[in-house]
Amino acid sequence: MTRKTEQLLEICILKLEKVRILEFMIVEARISFCNLVKCSWSPDGKMIAAGSADRFVYVWDTQSRRILYKLPGHDGSVNDVDFHPKEPILLSVGSDRKIYLGELHLR
């Protein structure tokens, strides 16, 4: 039997030159192992993607603060994610030494 627990994830956006908080948001997170590794903003600012130690890539909508995608594929921690500057494509790199490029179907 699997028990799903819903958690809230706090994201703090900093301006590093002056180290001040630009924005603080709480987003929905259904993550069993909440160990996010690195995040990236989409070029239009509408999505945040984060790699996780649970082998998934999570993508949130910044307006609704809901998870849009929970992307599988890696056999180890997802160490980095990044959006293509112009196309709806997301890159992820994992400790499994694999690189994935995935096209996001924008809703």
Q: Is 75 helix (H, G, I), strand (E, B) or coil?
A: coil
CATH number, domain with residue 77: 2.40.10
In a domain, 3, yes or no: no
Assessment of whether the complete model's pTM goes beyond 0.75: no
Cα maximum dimension of the chain: 48
In a domain, 11, yes or no: no
Supply the range of the domain harboring residue 77. Answer: 32-103
In a domain, 25, yes or no: no
Quick one: pLDDT at residue 105? 82
Q: In tens digits, what is the pLDDT along the chain, a chain of 107 residues?
A: 344 445 555 555 544 554 444 444 555 555 444 577 788 899 998 999 999 888 899 998 888 888 899 998 899 989 999 999 999 999 999 999 999 998 988 65
In a domain, 15, yes or no: no
Q: Name the domain count of the chain.
A: 1
Counting beta carbons within 10 angstroms of the beta carbon of residue 88, is it exposed (0 to 12), middle (13 to 18) or buried (19 or more)? middle
